[in-house]
Amino acid sequence: MSTNINSPDDKSPDVAPEHIAQMLTRATQQLDDDTVAALHRARNRALARQAVSRSVFALDTGHNMHWPMPHTSRQWMAAAILLAALAGGVSYWHHNTREHEVSHLDIAILTDDLPMEIFIDR
């Protein structure tokens, strides 16, 4: 965004808009002390809210309840990596357990030592 005052798109009669803008800028220097102080307080209040909302890794539902939801793209990425790692871990554990069960069964068949529950229809 440019900070320069842009030239008008079409001819104005006598007054250039940038001159009016300059006068308006001067007007902001003439605000009374109470208003300036109130604006300063408002700014600080907003900055305090920003600090709070940044520190909370949560989604405010508007009912004073916070659900663990990511806010920023970084948080989303961290959550995605965490979920992927979790899914990978579960899958690996499941695979290992199954392999272990099958190997037990193989040994039982080979040694003719099948347990009773193998004949029970589960």
Write out the residues near other proteins by the rule CB under 8 A.
1-6, 8-10, 12-21, 23-28, 30-31, 35-36, 38-40, 42-43, 45-47, 49-50, 53-54, 71-72
Q: How far is the CB of 2 from other proteins (least distance, A)?
A: 6
Q: Do 5 and 21 meet the contact criterion of CB atoms below 8 Å apart?
A: yes
56 phi-psi bin (left φ>0, alpha ψ -120 to 50, beta other): beta
Q: Which amino acid is at 77?
A: M
Q: How far is the CB of 49 from other proteins (least distance, A)?
A: 5
C-alpha to C-alpha distance for 19 and 93, rounded to whole angstroms: 73
Task: Please say which residue, 27 or 120, places its beta carbon nearer to other proteins.
Answer: 27
Q: Which amino acid is at 101?
A: E
For 3, 49, 53, 90, 116, the CA distances from 95, given in Å and listed in that order, are: 62, 48, 42, 9, 25
The tokens describing 30, both together, are 């003439």
Q: How far is the CB of 26 from other proteins (least distance, A)?
A: 6
Task: Please say which residue, 26 or 63, places its beta carbon nearer to other proteins.
Answer: 26
Q: How far is the CB of 54 from other proteins (least distance, A)?
A: 6
Task: Please say which residue, 45 or 104, places its beta carbon nearer to other proteins.
Answer: 45
